[in-house]
Amino acid sequence: MMNRLICFSGLLLLIISCRAQVPQKTISGKYAAQVDSVLALMTLDEKIGQLTLFTTDWGSTGPTIREGYQDDIRSGRCGALFNSHTAAFTRKLQEIAMKESRMKIPLLFGYDVIHGYKTIFPIPLGESCSWDLDAMERSASIAASESSAAGLHWTFAPMVDISREPRWGRVTEGAGEDPYLGSLIARARVHGFQGDNFDKADKIIACVKHYAAYGAPVAGREYNTVDMSERVFRDIYLPTYKAAVAAGAISVMTSFNEFDGIPATANKWLIQDVLRKEMGFKGFIVSDYTGIPEMVNHGYALNEANAGELAFNAGVDMDMQGAVYERFLKASVDSGRVSVKTIDESVRRILEVKFRLGLFKDPYRFCNEAREKEVVMSASNLAAARDMARKSVVLLKNDNNTLPITDKIHSIALIGPLSDDKAQMLGSWSGAGDGDKCISILEALTDRSTKNGIKLNHAKGCAIEGNDKNGFDEAINAAKSSDIIIAVVGESKEMSGEAAARSDLSLPGVQEQLIEALVATGKPVVVILMNGRPLTIPWIGEHAPAILETWFLGTEAGPAIGDVLFGDYNPSAKLTMTFPRSVGQVPIYYSQKNTGRPYNPDSKWNSKYLDIPNSPLYPFGYGLSYTTFKYDSVHVSQKEFSTKDTLRVDVKVTNTGQREGEEIVQLYVRDLVGSVTRPVKELKGFKKIKLAPGEGKNVTFKLTAADLAFYTADMKFEAEPGVFWIMAGPDSERLQKQVVTLVK
Ligand code: BGC
């Protein structure tokens, strides 16, 4: 075989006389020869090193911290690191790999860049409420641009776990409850992070997580068991992972939960049958944090060594932080329980990524101090973050046009524990975000009030948590001497995200009592909610005249909220997760089944609660605007259509208010009779349109039989002929329908 010359960052020339004869199924043709040429030179220890990911001591996102990771780089025991960033620091670590390790294989740097690196965008759940795919792609692309300049190659995002479990704190990182919308968002985010190529070193590789079904833990408790039918998995939970893989995501992270009794980290059916074979995933698979050793606690592995074998043989290429591959995999090879051939396949996948990123040519191409200075928190990134933040605000209530604030308002009482907080607005998983760089609502409104000659009376009233009501009097006095009250309440950022499940979804502490006291003053109260999940706020829903759901909007939260309050931006977002009336309704979601005894409040023997209606406080797809929209009746192009036809659905929407506004027009279907029962509604399309006052637009959707497909009784993915309701409207409840029949 011909000798090959391979250049390692211009430092080392390696002469390879014999290329290993190994299958190359998973390696794309372009880099196969280079990858193999490196692999042929590696010892087994070095190979295992490439399958090992450790955190640095710069941050912790789990229970363990690895000491001595710099020695691990030197000795080739670790080929990738996370929680290390900035051009300077990653350069320093890369230098250790390039100058002091035997093989001089560049390190891969990963980080949880979930909704921004330093310019923090709204939490993903908030962004999803914009239903604006281009804006979400741009947000991910800016996150990629900033983090790539700071030395990072890899983000542990997007998190695409569908969830109908607001008790689960990680809903904050996802795109809500719906697989159709969630899939489109997953695709947009993957494109945003990865782009088309890594030519300019301003993109990073995506990691789809957490595979699989992590969003459905029993009782909403973090890390808990997941138990669902294969049908539910395929219909509801799988599509988002599929969409992200189809969009070209280069890596996938397994989840902490078990699935059908087998931890996802060693679940061959999930990894081999579904991810590799059905979805055709060619990239590499990483465990989640100490997911591998945790299989001992699950009661699935005898000990850590056994856990490593189970995970590796199931197809987990890289061990994050478990140090199991690093400690035990070699012995597993020696004993014949793990094959070198499989190790080689995994190493190839990882080396290929390093080649694709251009790291073998220039290991420092992502450590770009000059670009870091230029792009990180640049004016245009901050402007994009402000825009995304405004787009993510959901107007839940606005009686008597309480909002926007008009020039009749001369004084504002700004109340609430979150009214002057900066860091909280970043939300959880806020990358390298710096709370000091955020603009609080107090700062933003002080600025505006001064310009508009409005008196601003500020009082906190109470803390987020605790029973202390000593601040109430000051808040009530401020309220009494103001024309309008703006009360900013919610959760702390630590109350959502990982390991942040709650059994009670009401406002923590005495915040609701503070709102009650403010409402009792008789002044109009605007409640601004900051939270990482749907909350149960029925009293506020009934008594406060105006409510804005602002989630955690990130670095530009203050100015964005100011824009909405003063009407410089007309809210257009709609909920992507149902808001329950009570935690007792959870899991609650719009696409439920009808049951044999559907809800009827006037009779006893049907599917309902004795104490509350079945309906949510705010349904999926719901959100108001400062203007109003009228929907004419829905038209369909034909009452009967075949599997070859395209059904056209038209609905005219008119802006009947005084302002320009955007409306998210939604299309749902119901399959009335199936070989398995179907949900009462399923989202199948949406369009976001902008209308001037008085303007009307016809919105057209196109549906084919493929859009009506599901996993039938014999697990075929296809549409079944029969009667369907085609429904359109402004949210999942206010819908108009047409009845059509799908014929063979
Ligand atoms: C989380 C992942 C995250 C990882 C690395 C884990 O605890 O579940 O989502 O990517 O830590 O920080």
Instruction: Write out pLDDT tens, residues 279-305.
Output: 999 999 999 999 999 999 999 999 999
In the beta sheet, which residues pair with residue 15?
Answer: 5
Mutate which of 114, 289, 319 for ligand 1 pocket (most atoms within 8 A of beta carbon): 289
User: Atom 12 in ligand 1: which residue has the minimum CA distance?
Assistant: 61
User: Atom 6 in ligand 1: which residue has the minimum CA distance?
Assistant: 289
Ligand 1 atom showing the smallest separation from residue 210 Cα:
9
Distance CA 108, CA 359 (A): 9
User: Atom 10 in ligand 1: which residue has the minimum CA distance?
Assistant: 156
Distance CA 524, CA 530 (A): 19
Q: Is the distance from CB of 220 to CB of 172 less than 8 angstroms?
A: no
Q: How many CB atoms are located within 10 Å of the residue 557 CB? A: 33
10 pLDDT exceeds 90?
Answer: no
- Return the structure tokens found at 99: 């100058």
Asked if 288 is an active-site residue, the reply is yes
pLDDT digits (tens, 9 = 90+) for 583-606: 999 999 999 999 999 999 999 999
244 pLDDT exceeds 70?
Answer: yes
Confidence of residue 6 (pLDDT cuts 50, 70, 90): very low
- Return the structure tokens found at 16: 């390879």
3-state secondary structure of 741: strand
Q: Is the distance from CB of 505 to CB of 617 less than 8 angstroms?
A: no
- Residue-by-residue DSSP string for 352-411: HHHHHTTTTT-TTTTB-HHHHHHHTT-HHHHHHHHHHHHHT-EEEEEGGG--S--TT--E
Which residue from 122, 98, 198, 268 is spatially nearest to 564, judged by alpha carbons?
122
Confidence of residue 13 (pLDDT cuts 50, 70, 90): very low
Alpha carbon of 39 to ligand 1 centroid (Å): 29
Distance CA 54, CA 321 (A): 5
Burial class for 324, CB neighbours closer than 10 Å (0-12, 13-18, 19+): buried
Distance CA 722, CA 743 (A): 7
Determine the pLDDT at residue 29.
73
E strand or H helix that includes residue 517: helix 511-520
Residue recorded with tokens 């009667």: 723
Ligand 1 atom showing the smallest separation from residue 159 Cα:
9
- Residues recorded for the chain: 744
Ligand 1 atom showing the smallest separation from residue 255 Cα:
8
Determine the pLDDT at residue 62.
66
Q: For the residues 249-262, what does the mean pLDDT come to?
A: 98
Which residue from 552, 602, 727 is spatially nearest to 114, judged by alpha carbons?
552
Confidence of residue 45 (pLDDT cuts 50, 70, 90): very high
Distance CA 618, CA 169 (A): 19
Determine the pLDDT at residue 57.
81
Q: For the residues 724-730, what does the mean pLDDT come to?
A: 98
Ligand 1 atom showing the smallest separation from residue 156 Cα:
10
Q: Is the distance from CB of 107 to CB of 94 less than 8 angstroms?
A: yes
Distance CA 490, CA 424 (A): 10
Mutate which of 53, 156, 168 for ligand 1 pocket (most atoms within 8 A of beta carbon): 156
pLDDT digits (tens, 9 = 90+) for 505-538: 999 999 999 999 999 999 999 999 999 999 999 9
Distance CA 236, CA 698 (A): 31
Q: Is the distance from CB of 101 to CB of 75 less than 8 angstroms?
A: yes
Distance CA 618, CA 275 (A): 35
Residue recorded with tokens 């245009």: 380
101 pLDDT exceeds 60?
Answer: yes
Determine the pLDDT at residue 23.
32
Determine the pLDDT at residue 58.
77
Confidence of residue 28 (pLDDT cuts 50, 70, 90): low
Residues 6+ apart with CB under 8 A from 299: none
Q: How many CB atoms are located within 10 Å of the residue 360 CB? A: 21
Distance CA 41, CA 13 (A): 12
Alpha carbon of 112 to ligand 1 centroid (Å): 7
Protein residues whose CB sits closer than 6 Å to any atom of ligand 1: 61-62, 82, 112, 156, 209, 288-289, 498
Confidence of residue 61 (pLDDT cuts 50, 70, 90): low
- Return the structure tokens found at 721: 């002929």
Alpha carbon of 345 to ligand 1 centroid (Å): 25
Distance CA 580, CA 506 (A): 10
Ligand 1 atom showing the smallest separation from residue 83 Cα:
12
Give the pairing of strands 525-530 and 484-490.
Answer: parallel
Rounded to the nearest integer, the mean pLDDT of the chain is: 94
In the beta sheet, which residues pair with residue 39?
Answer: none
Alpha carbon of 635 to ligand 1 centroid (Å): 47
Give the pairing of strands 696-703 and 647-655.
Answer: antiparallel
- Kindly report which listed range (11-25, 286-300, 558-572, 714-728) carries the lowest average pLDDT score: 11-25
Ligand 1 atom showing the smallest separation from residue 61 Cα:
12
- Return the structure tokens found at 402: 């309480």
Instruction: Tell me the residue type at 495.
Output: M
Which residue from 430, 662, 672 is spatially nearest to 532, judged by alpha carbons?
430
Which member of 72, 112, 202, 288 is catalytic? Answer: 288
Q: Is the distance from CB of 514 to CB of 369 less than 8 angstroms?
A: no
Distance CA 158, CA 173 (A): 8
Residues 6+ apart with CB under 8 A from 247: 186, 187, 190, 191
Residue recorded with tokens 């399923």: 682
Q: Is the distance from CB of 506 to CB of 536 less than 8 angstroms?
A: yes
Q: How many CB atoms are located within 10 Å of the residue 269 CB? A: 14
Distance CA 552, CA 114 (A): 13
Rounded to 5 degrees, what angle do the CA atoms 163, 570, 541 make?
55
Residue recorded with tokens 């119901």: 670
47 pLDDT exceeds 70?
Answer: yes
In the beta sheet, which residues pair with residue 394?
Answer: 549
Instruction: Tell me the residue type at 22.
Output: V
Alpha carbon of 666 to ligand 1 centroid (Å): 34
Alpha carbon of 288 to ligand 1 centroid (Å): 6
Alpha carbon of 328 to ligand 1 centroid (Å): 23
E strand or H helix that includes residue 295: helix 294-298
Distance CA 258, CA 383 (A): 42
- Residue-by-residue DSSP string for 220-257: G-TT--B---HHHIIIIIHHHHHHHHHTT-SEEEE-SS
Q: Is the distance from CB of 579 to CB of 534 less than 8 angstroms?
A: yes
Distance CA 498, CA 290 (A): 14
Distance CA 144, CA 202 (A): 6
3-state secondary structure of 447: helix
Residue recorded with tokens 């939960």: 257
Determine the pLDDT at residue 60.
64
Distance CA 159, CA 206 (A): 10
User: Atom 2 in ligand 1: which residue has the minimum CA distance?
Assistant: 288
Distance CA 502, CA 302 (A): 32
- Kindly report which listed range (59-63, 410-414, 616-620, 642-646) carries the lowest average pLDDT score: 59-63
pLDDT digits (tens, 9 = 90+) for 351-387: 999 999 999 999 999 999 999 999 999 999 999 999 9
pTM over 0.75, yes/no: yes
3-state secondary structure of 80: strand
Q: Is the distance from CB of 289 to CB of 320 less than 8 angstroms?
A: yes
Confidence of residue 21 (pLDDT cuts 50, 70, 90): very low
Burial class for 12, CB neighbours closer than 10 Å (0-12, 13-18, 19+): exposed
